[in-house]
Amino acid sequence: MSATATGIGITRLGQIAINTKDVERAAAFYQDVLGLKLLFKAPPGLAFFDCGGVRLMLDRAEKPEFDHPSSVLYFAVPDIRAAYGKLKESGVPFEDEPHMIAKMPTHDLWMTFFRDSEGNLLALMSEVAR
């Protein structure tokens, strides 16, 4: 019996919701600063972006219990130092500088953490070949 035979057939992550206070401000950040492709906007105040085949949905929390920071999203980049420098020049607030997290068999895993326009914690990650 295969792993998918007992499951429900999940093949990938389809969408992630990101809480915002101001959808237009957040959409500008994700499009203009991070460079993600805007897929579409829909009323009442939704914006959808493509991130490597995973859809990111920006939305305002409709109920107080849903008004919390998003999960930490780790954006993979080929050159973490260059991406860090470009975002830093754009005024993105970082929690730290790029640093090595772990030595893997074929590469080193590097990360750095930053905040989006809504205060959500995000990260850049890079697998650097040795």
Over its length of 130 residues, how does the chain's per-residue pLDDT go in tens digits?
444 456 878 888 899 999 999 999 999 999 999 999 999 999 889 999 999 999 999 999 888 888 898 899 999 999 999 999 999 999 999 999 999 999 999 999 999 999 999 999 999 999 999 8
Helices (H), 12-119: 23-28, 80-89
The token duo for 130 is: 């040795």
- pTM (whole model) above 0.75: yes
Nearest to 70 by CA among 33, 34, 18: 18
Q: Which domains does the chain have, with CATH numbers?
A: 14-129 (3.10.180.10)
